[in-house]
Amino acid sequence: MTSTFFNPFTDIRNKATAWFTTTRTLTVLYTFFLLILLISGATMTASALSYISLPPPSSYSPPPLSQSSPSSTSHISLVPLIFNATQTYTLLVLGVIVAATSLLSVPPLLQTSNSQSYLLLLNLWHVVELLILIIGGSVIWWGTLRERNEFWGVWQANGDFVRGIVQERFSCCGYWNNTDLTQVVPLGICELAASTISVPSSENMPPPCVNAFQAYGDPYLNGWSTAVYAIAAILCGQFMVTACMIADRKLLERFRKIDLKYKIIV
């Protein structure tokens, strides 16, 4: 009967092999989260820049009355009326930060050593980045709580030309009240109906624009605030994977020092 003796070096080798498998898994997860964050940051940045580049509807010249029709203003985007400057530039800053951090996360994938200092600094920044994302997402989300009043401010800040575009685009008249001549622009769809407003009746007019305007703007504001919070959740995953990589590299470095001490080739 043969005796089996415990070989500590074989045990170390088996553990090292298992940890090398773990290292590959962590590298794949790290790369996955990195790519998702990079794409998300680039998308946010590109979208914010496109919103900034859109001219406000008020910058267009009203067409002659003889040529005035819904099709003559169909090329004018209403997105600049939805996002205010704070929300647009918040989205831009968040996109740049997420994309830049993703690029700065590439060097650990190229390292041949088991150094953990860069990953430690990166994870500290991830905590700061997470706070920035939550604050930025809340700035955009806060606008969803006051959409009707915010859009009312937009309505008041713009003249008859822009109000007329909104009325034609959404087939509505006025903002809160479709029988209030101070809100209704007697053009296009509202021009004929306005002739009957001498006897105020909401039945004589298309509905007010408040609901249609909110229905148009809400997917933008709610969509982006939700997207920012989702990116924050992905960043939490990146943070945890990075923490695991730090622990993994620490253990691999320990194995390396043991190998050097006993001159074992694993």
Q: What is the pLDDT of residue 3?
A: 47
Q: Got the DSSP string for 169-194?
A: HHT--SSS-TT-TTT---STHHHHHH
DSSP character for 205?
S
Q: What is the pLDDT of residues 222-254, one digit of tens each?
A: 999 999 999 999 999 999 999 988 888 787 667
Helices (H), the chain: 8-53, 79-82, 85-104, 107-110, 117-144, 147-157, 160-170, 189-194, 210-262
Q: What is the pLDDT of residue 25?
A: 85
Q: What is the pLDDT of residue 57?
A: 85
Read off the pLDDT of each residue in 6-25 and give the average, rounded to a whole number: 56
CA distance 39 to 37: 5
CA distance 136 to 231: 12
Return phi, psi of residue 158, to 5°: -110, 155
CA distance 36 to 27: 14
Q: What is the pLDDT of residues 74-103, one digit of tens each?
A: 788 889 999 999 999 999 999 999 999 999
For the record, the structure tokens of 186 come out as: 């007697």
CA 68 remoteness from chain centre: 37
CA distance 44 to 42: 6
Q: What is the pLDDT of residue 72?
A: 66
Report the chain's mean pLDDT, rounded to a whole number: 82
Q: Give the torsion through C-alpha atoms of 36, 37, 43, 45, to 10 deg.
A: -170
- Which of 3-12, 136-145, 189-198 shows the lowest mean pLDDT across its residues? 3-12
CA distance 50 to 88: 10
Q: What is the pLDDT of residue 6?
A: 44
Q: What percent of the chain has pLDDT over 70?
A: 78
